[in-house]
Structure 1
Amino acid sequence: MTGEAEAVGPPAAEYDEYGFVVPAGALGREIVRYKQQFQPKAERRVTRWERFRRADPSLSNRRRLKRLVRKGIPDSFRKEIWAHCLGSQRLRDANPNKFESLLREPLSDETLSQIELDLTRTFPNNKLYKYEDGVAKLRRVLRAFAVHNVRVNYCQSLNFIAAVLLLFMDEELAFWTLAQVVSSEEGAKGLHIDGYYVEGMDQLRADLRALERIVQRKFPNAYASLRREGVELEWVCQEWFHTLFSTVLPIQTTLRVWDCLFLEGHKILFRVALAIFKENELRISKFQSLEEVMVSMREISSHQVDHNSLLKAAFKGIGRLKRAQIRREQAYGERMVAEENAAAQARRERHNQAHPPPPAKPQLPALDNPGHGEAGGSGEESPVGAAVREAARRLESVIDSCYDSILGDGDDDVDVSPVDGEPPAARLPGSIPALSPDSVFSYLGVSVSSMLQPSNSSDATRSSVNVHRGDNALATSPAK
């Protein structure tokens, strides 16, 4: 019986060398086939890297390093080369106890809860993050980063970047590498993209505007196809840049992109995005509907299995793309984002003017033990003081009821029809005056003296107050 159950049950998951489940179907077969096809090249590259490391232990020959990095860093060298390119190893050496001390610092409940929520969403198809040990490592890296980078704190997408780093690095080095990826603290190294992960994401939005201009110029047919279907380029490409392609490309391709990204800087994001359009320009140009665009663009990125062809397109197929050109387009994007932000602020101000918040209820001043003797004196509260305190308590309750009746729950129309003897201005939510104790007593028609009159029986009525709003009346119950 057990044998039959095993025979008809689903096959056991197959994992790649990085711990990810190999996709089922045609995509999985394509990944396996390409890996086998690429294996001879991969072995030759390992030999070249070993020879280079023996000849240049300090990695001082940047020209040679760049040429090798563009061909791909072997897995056995990635930890060392990434840390060198980003400067994270030097930061770790200069701050030997920093990581552990950051973990002892408090974080807000909001940040902690967001990190915990994202932990369960981070690469559930990777076996490292199926178990608590891997999740705990990722948690510590994200918490330390949130304390360390005050400007960013924590933002979704950082969990995916940190999770990929942990496939090659221990927690402490992964933390320093993440810090360098986002906001460089080591010389000219790092990506300097902290503006991707702060409120408003202005830097990310500006870069996407810049990318849109370059795509429109280099691939006009593909761009026209997207616009014809009403698709903004940022809908497609925001995740590409925000996660550094880690959630959209196959892991083998992501790693090849990161090899170049960590050495050459974030211009590589533009080159790789343009290479995807270059490799798929004809297909993109034939899109016929919004649904086809959104589904197909996701499929296109997930099927970029041939990382060698993609990187060749990034460096040769897209034509010239100088840093100065990218910077000019980024400056344009920054102006566009500034204009969008100014327009949004103006809309908020107009909305606030048209829908002002309801006024706060007036607060009666605290009565500091009225009826006592001089300051610092002691003794029992006088009858006058006790009566004033009781009057203030009851009046405060009446005022609450009055405001509730006037303002309702914030949605009811306010009845502003005149009532005999009632000051209209006092009933309008937009013009309710500040109330002093004297004006409160005067407005409600209550005299302190009437509050002080002793009752002749236990059921005597001490006061009765009616506050009108239109035809409705609120009356305090007689004090018994």
Structure 2
Amino acid sequence: MAEVNLADYDRYGFKVESQHVSRQQWEKMHATVVNSDKKHLPKWDALFRSNRGELPERSDKIKKLIRKGVPTQFRRKVWLKYSGALDRMDMNPGVYLAMVGRERQQIDRGVHPVNEFVDIIERDLNRTFPDNLYFRADPPIAAPAPPYWPGNAAPDGPISLIASLRRVLVAFSFFNAEIGYCQSLNYIVGLLLLFMSEEEAFWTLVVITENLLPAGMYTKTLSGTITEMKVFKDIVKDKCKPILTKVKEGGIVELDMLTSPWFLTLYINVLPNECVLRLWDTFFYEGSKILYRIALAVLKLIESDVIKLKDAMEVVQYIQTAPKRMTDVDKLMKAAFQRFGSKAVGHLSHHDIDRKRNEASAALNGGSASPSARPSTSSSLSSRS
């Protein structure tokens, strides 16, 4: 294979430069993230020391710490603990391996294809992060293991995560027959695998689809996604109406068509990776309201620029591409949680979202809320604010 310059890749194996982010912009973002890690590391170290090396139960203190940023080396533990994935995994020993083995059982029985999703998964494997060092069929020999991946110790050779991605996705397609597989899940699992083992990524995907997000987000009908976009549109009408009006006036596409990929991929390929990871820190602790807060923050930050545009297609393209250039992680997170000021999202709680979700679901289902309107994980969260 062609030689690669490892200096062109970040610590997660992604290319530093893109058509949206220059090397200089990336270096500035990276320096900010590294400095943030150093700044908050002593508090996290003290937290672990005071709890005998473990993470404590939920509290306002933990929520504030997480909102300020989780040092990269602690992300795996934080995500697993506060998402509920660790508990699910501990309560279901052997289940992941059993799901992995289900494919072989089907093959031995002469069943082909083993289920309706395997061929689709196969097609998506090489489309998942094609420029990432660890998702290439022929990874460069010089590439180290992902820095915070559990298998980092003395790898025997170059690591490709494609086989791991396939196992997790196929196992999940057997485990959750209602969803099976939906495009977007490959990106979510791919990013998880840079931080954790296959089994951990599997159970994290389970809690994302069963607990952290509303039902129906990834089913064939995408009923949950349709409901969420109706909810989001209603919230935008309250908090960011000028953009909604601008898009509607253009007559090319509805705003929900532009923003639904943000929710489905949990912002992968929408925001720069460091922003995605910071967002995920809070998402795994606070649930789906974070997706709304970030979406509103993005719209608030680009609102003045969008309103100035005259051409309808330019409006659409700007909304699609502007988030990819948002390299100021702290600015984005501040906008998401700030309650006052011209760029503020304001108050937006799980209660607000659940109420609107029930209303939207009832409207879409002739007056009665559907199962897709199940509440988010707000009941298990320490705060609904």
Quick check: TM above 0.5? yes
In structure 2, the CA distance between the partners of 1:339 and 1:182, relative to structure 1 (3 Å rule), is same
**TM-superposition CA deviations, 1:17-41 (whole Å, max 9, x none):** 1110112467122121122244333
Q: Does 1:295 align with 2:289?
A: no
SS of residue in 2 equivalent to 1:27: coil
State the alpha-carbon separation in 2 of the partners of residues 141 and 335 from structure 1: 35
Instruction: Identify which of 128, 145, 159 aligns with 1:122.
Output: 128
State the alpha-carbon separation in 1 of the partners of residues 215 and 10 from structure 2: 32
Q: Residue 412 of structure 1 corresponds to which residue in structure 2?
A: none
Q: Does 1:282 align with 2:288?
A: no
State the alpha-carbon separation in 2 of the partners of residues 24 and 163 from structure 1: 19
Q: Does 1:195 align with 2:216?
A: yes
**TM-superposition CA deviations, 1:246-295 (whole Å, max 9, x none):** 12111100001111011101011111100101111101212322321222
Q: Residue 65 of structure 2 corresponds to which residue in structure 1?
A: 68
**TM-superposition CA deviations, 1:70-110 (whole Å, max 9, x none):** 01111111111100011212222222211111111136453
State the alpha-carbon separation in 2 of the partners of residues 319 and 264 from structure 1: 16
Q: Residue 238 of structure 2 corresponds to which residue in structure 1?
A: 217
In structure 2, the CA distance between the partners of 1:196 and 1:23, relative to structure 1 (3 Å rule), is same
Q: Residue 145 of structure 2 corresponds to which residue in structure 1?
A: none
Residue pairs, 1:140-151, within 5 angstroms: 140-151=167-178
In structure 2, the CA distance between the partners of 1:216 and 1:87, relative to structure 1 (3 Å rule), is same
Residue pairs, 1:193-272, within 5 angstroms: 193-230=214-251, 231-272=253-294
TM-score, normalized by length of structure 1?
Answer: 0.65
**8 Å Cα contact 1:202-1:334 kept in structure 2:** no
Instruction: Identify which of 80, 94, 99 aligns with 2:91.
Output: 94
Q: Residue 30 of structure 2 corresponds to which residue in structure 1?
A: 35
Deviation at 1:193, TM superposition (A): 3.0
Residue pairs, 1:301-380, within 5 angstroms: 301-316=323-338, 317-338=344-365
Deviation at 1:129, TM superposition (A): 0.4
State the alpha-carbon separation in 2 of the partners of residues 183 and 61 from structure 1: 20
State the alpha-carbon separation in 2 of the partners of residues 271 and 38 from structure 1: 21
In structure 2, the CA distance between the partners of 1:321 and 1:12, relative to structure 1 (3 Å rule), is closer
**8 Å Cα contact 1:208-1:333 kept in structure 2:** no
SS of residue in 1 equivalent to 2:353: helix
**8 Å Cα contact 2:55-2:81 kept in structure 1:** no
State the alpha-carbon separation in 2 of the partners of residues 97 and 11 from structure 1: 40
Letter of the aligned partner of 2:174 in structure 1?
Answer: V
Letter of the aligned partner of 2:36 in structure 1?
Answer: K
State the alpha-carbon separation in 2 of the partners of residues 160 and 26 from structure 1: 19
Letter of the aligned partner of 1:170 in structure 2?
Answer: S
Q: How many residues align?
A: 327
SS of residue in 1 equivalent to 2:116: helix
**TM-superposition CA deviations, 1:93-144 (whole Å, max 9, x none):** 2222111111111364531100001111111121110136311000000011
Letter of the aligned partner of 1:80 in structure 2?
Answer: K
**8 Å Cα contact 1:205-1:337 kept in structure 2:** no
Q: Does 1:113 align with 2:119?
A: yes
In structure 2, the CA distance between the partners of 1:291 and 1:12, relative to structure 1 (3 Å rule), is farther
**8 Å Cα contact 1:122-1:159 kept in structure 2:** yes
Residue ranges of structure 2 left out of the alignment (5+ in a row): 107-112, 139-159, 339-343, 368-385
State the alpha-carbon separation in 1 of the partners of residues 80 and 4 from structure 2: 41
**8 Å Cα contact 2:12-2:194 kept in structure 1:** yes
In structure 2, the CA distance between the partners of 1:196 and 1:25, relative to structure 1 (3 Å rule), is closer
In structure 2, the CA distance between the partners of 1:297 and 1:13, relative to structure 1 (3 Å rule), is farther
In structure 2, the CA distance between the partners of 1:85 and 1:37, relative to structure 1 (3 Å rule), is closer
Q: Does 1:47 align with 2:39?
A: no
In structure 2, the CA distance between the partners of 1:274 and 1:26, relative to structure 1 (3 Å rule), is closer
**8 Å Cα contact 1:70-1:260 kept in structure 2:** yes
Residue ranges of structure 1 left out of the alignment (5+ in a row): 1-5, 185-190, 341-480
Letter of the aligned partner of 1:215 in structure 2?
Answer: V
Deviation at 1:61, TM superposition (A): 5.0
SS of residue in 1 equivalent to 2:21: helix
Letter of the aligned partner of 1:138 in structure 2?
Answer: L
Deviation at 1:10, TM superposition (A): 10
In structure 2, the CA distance between the partners of 1:91 and 1:104, relative to structure 1 (3 Å rule), is same
TM-score, normalized by length of structure 2?
Answer: 0.80
Q: Residue 157 of structure 2 corresponds to which residue in structure 1?
A: none
Higher relative contact order (CA 8 A, sep 6+): 2
Q: Which has the larger radius of gyration?
A: 1
Letter of the aligned partner of 2:186 in structure 1?
Answer: N
**8 Å Cα contact 1:229-1:290 kept in structure 2:** yes
